[in-house]
Amino acid sequence: MTKNIDWSAVRKDIASLLHQPEYDDGSAGPVLVRLAWHSAGTYDAESDTGGSNGAGMRYEAEGGDPANAGLQHARVFLEPIKSKYPDATYADLWTLAGVVAIKEMGGPEIKWQPGRTDYVDDSKLPPRGRLPDAAQGNDHLRNIFYRMGFNDQEIVALSGAHNLGRCHSDRSGFEGAWVNNPTRFSNTYFNLMLSRTWKEKVLKNGNKQFVYYDEDADEELMMLPTDLALLSDDKFRKWVETYAKDKNKFFEDFAAVFEKLMELGLVRDETGKVLNTDNVRGGYHS
Ligand code: DDH
């Protein structure tokens, strides 16, 4: 059923909650982007399960996946919005919050459409382990993102989201930010990846990451093994180089691929209406 929701008012309200002086780098933006991505990134094209319908992270089966540790902060930030617009689904609010946060942090405008359901079909719950593991390499990246229907160029463009936010030792077990200004969307991540000398560092918990000490900012920046894996493969590396050189191209490609990510698992008719609001997709494919 189409509800009459004033989405431009919702967007404004999301934008006005981003400023959070007590939280992380002063912004809820990065963790909201991660919530949006993890809500959709469970998609499996072959079995047609997972994806942005359902907001399954509200429940332990998905929300308790160690890959989703810390995302409760993002969900709590959005509760006042849900209370103000009770007819908006969580699945719509989580994806829209990511889109609004990216724009507000200086990123591109990303097309977004509502219509997602909060209905969860238990028999179609995505199993854990569908989100990427930062300790792995290129084969893993391809397995995970090809499964969602992305290609090599799209994998690199999506990875550029690591311009934003940071790793937390009590969430993922990794530590630090990728760039000096982690609440400003840009292509700095790609530039730093190529231009700095990254040294392996073993954390107290045994996790390996790569670090570079930035003297100007007196700060240690980091890369995950999966980030630097993009440099060791020509098909990925050429896109890292393209995006490092050409910020506009990165913004354009990122906007397209993030829009595609937010649509994973949805079947829409030609008017944009979501058909699989029972969250069962099979029957809608002709
Ligand atoms: Fe990521 N990401 N991500 N990521 N991600 C982490 C944080 C953030 C991987 C691992 C981690 C994407 C892809 C990958 C964001 C957006 C996106 C953290 C740290 C880990 C670990 C979490 C924590 O400790 O709080 C891996 C591996 C991949 C991959 O294999 C490609 C994608 C595709 C996106 C996206 O949005 C399109 C954002 C934003 C953050 C910062 C969160 C925060 O709280 O700050």
Amino acid at 146: Y
CA of 162 to the centre of ligand 1 (A): 6
Return the pLDDT at 284.
61
> Ligand 1 pocket: which of 34, 150, 230 to mutate (most atoms <8 Å of CB)?
34
Per the structure block, which two tokens stand in for 179?
Answer: 């760039």
Neighbours of 89 (CB within 10 A): 23
Please say whether the beta carbons of 170 and 161 come within 8 A.
Answer: no
Q: What is the pLDDT of residue 48?
A: 86
The CA dihedral of 20, 26, 32, 38, to the nearest 10 degrees, is -140
In contact, 167 and 174? CB cutoff 8 Å: yes
Is the CA virtual torsion 151, 153, 157, 162 positive or negative? positive
Ligand 1 proximity of 157 Cβ (cutoff 6 Å)? no
Label residue 256 left, alpha or beta by phi (over 0 means left) and psi (-120 to 50 means alpha).
Answer: alpha
Q: From CA 136, how far away is CA 250, in angstroms rounded? A: 24
Per-residue pLDDT of the chain (286 residues; tens, 9 = 90+): 457 899 999 999 999 999 999 999 999 999 999 999 999 999 999 988 899 999 999 999 899 999 999 999 999 999 999 999 999 999 999 999 999 999 999 999 999 999 999 998 877 788 899 999 999 999 999 999 999 999 999 999 999 999 999 999 999 999 999 999 999 999 999 999 999 999 999 999 999 999 999 888 899 999 999 999 999 999 999 999 999 999 999 999 999 999 999 999 999 999 999 998 887 665 565 4
CA-261 nearest atom, ligand 1:
37
Nearest CA residue ID for atom 15, ligand 1: 34
CA distance 20 to 104: 14
CA-CA-CA-CA torsion sign (247, 249, 250, 256): positive
Choose the residue to mutate in 23, 27, 37, 178 for probing ligand 1, maximizing ligand atoms within 8 Å of C-beta.
37
pLDDT score recorded for residue 55: 94
Residue 188 burial (CB < 10 Å; 0-12/13-18/19+)?
buried
Query: How many other C-beta atoms lie within 10 A of the C-beta of residue 178?
Result: 22
103 CB less than 6 Å from ligand 1? Answer: no
Structure token digits, residue 270: 């030609």
Atom from ligand 1 closest to the CA of residue 136 = 27
ipTM of the predicted structure? 0.99
* Joined tokens for residue 26: 């002063």
Q: Indicate which residue of 37, 112, 178, 239 is catalytic.
A: 178
Q: What is the structure's pLDDT at 286? A: 40
Residue closest by Cα to atom 17 of ligand 1: 161
Residue 184 to residue 163: CA distance in whole angstroms? 7
Give the count of alpha carbons within 13 A of 83, CB side only. Answer: 6
Q: Determine whether 271 is exposed, middle or buried from the number of CB atoms within 10 Å of its CB (0-12, 13-18, 19+).
A: exposed
- The partner residues of 19 in beta bridges, in order of sequence, read 27
Active site includes 38? yes
